Chains A and B, each alone.
Chain A
Amino acid sequence: MQTKENIYSLLSEIPDPEIPVISIVELGVIRDVKFADDKTIEITITPTYSGCPAMKQMEDDVRKKLLVNGFETVKIKTVYNPAWTTDWLSQEAKLKLQKYGIAPPEESTSDKSFLTGKTKNITCPRCKSTKTHLVSQFGSTACKALYKCDECLEAFDYFKCI
Chain B
Amino acid sequence: MTSQEALVNYTLRLGDTSLILAQRLSEWTGHGPFLEEDLALTNIALDIFGRAKALLEYAAKVEGKGRTEDDIAFFRSDREYFNALITEQPNGDYAKTIIRQALIDCFDLAFYTELAKSKDETLAGIAAKSIKEITYHKRHSFSWVNRFGNGTEESFNRLQKGLNEIWPFAGELFEMNEVDALLIKEGVAVDLSTLKANWEKEINQLLAKANLVAPEGTYVQTGSRKGLHGEHLSYILAEMQSLPRMHPTAKW
**Residues of chain A at the chain B interface (Cβ within 8 Å):** 47, 49-53, 79-84, 114-115, 117, 135-140, 142, 146, 160, 162
Contact = CB atoms under 8 A, between A and B. Distances in A.
B125 A81 contact: yes
A146 B36 CA distance: 9
Nearest to A117: B139
A80 B125 contact: yes
Contacts of B136: 137-138, 160, 162
B128 A137 contact: no
B132 A52 contact: no
A101 to B, nearest CB: 18
B181 to A, nearest CB: 26
B227 interface: no
Contacts of B46: 49, 51-53, 142
Contacts of B36: 135-136, 138, 146
B90 interface: no
B75 to A, nearest CB: 21
B39 interface: yes
B121 A162 contact: no
A83 B132 contact: yes
A132 to B, nearest CB: 16
Contact of A51 (B51, B126, B132, B135): B51
A22 to B, nearest CB: 20
A50 B133 contact: yes
B143 to A, nearest CB: 9
Dominant secondary structure at the A interface:
loop
B47 A50 contact: yes
Interface of B: 22, 36-37, 39-40, 42-51, 53-54, 121-122, 124-126, 128-130, 132-133, 135-136, 139-140
Contacts of B44: 138
Nearest to A82: B128
30 contacts: A47-B129, A49-B47, A49-B50, A49-B133, A50-B47, A50-B48, A50-B51, A51-B45, A51-B46, A51-B48, A51-B49, A51-B51, A52-B50, A53-B46, A80-B122, A80-B125, A80-B126, A80-B129, A81-B128, A83-B125, A136-B36, A136-B39, A136-B40, A137-B136, A137-B139, A138-B44, A138-B136, A146-B39, A160-B136, A162-B136
Contacts of B53: 50-51
B238 to A, nearest CB: 23
Dominant secondary structure at the B interface:
helix
A146 to B, nearest CB: 7
Contacts of A140: 39
A50 B140 contact: no
Given A51-B48, A137-B40, 19 more contacts: A47-B50, A47-B129, A49-B47, A50-B48, A50-B53, A50-B54, A50-B126, A50-B130, A51-B50, A51-B51, A51-B53, A80-B122, A80-B126, A80-B128, A81-B129, A136-B36, A138-B44, A142-B46, A146-B36
A146 B35 CA distance: 11
Contacts of A114: 135
Nearest to B58: A80
Nearest to B51: A50
A51 B125 CA distance: 15
B123 to A, nearest CB: 10
Contacts of A160: 136
Contacts of A115: 135
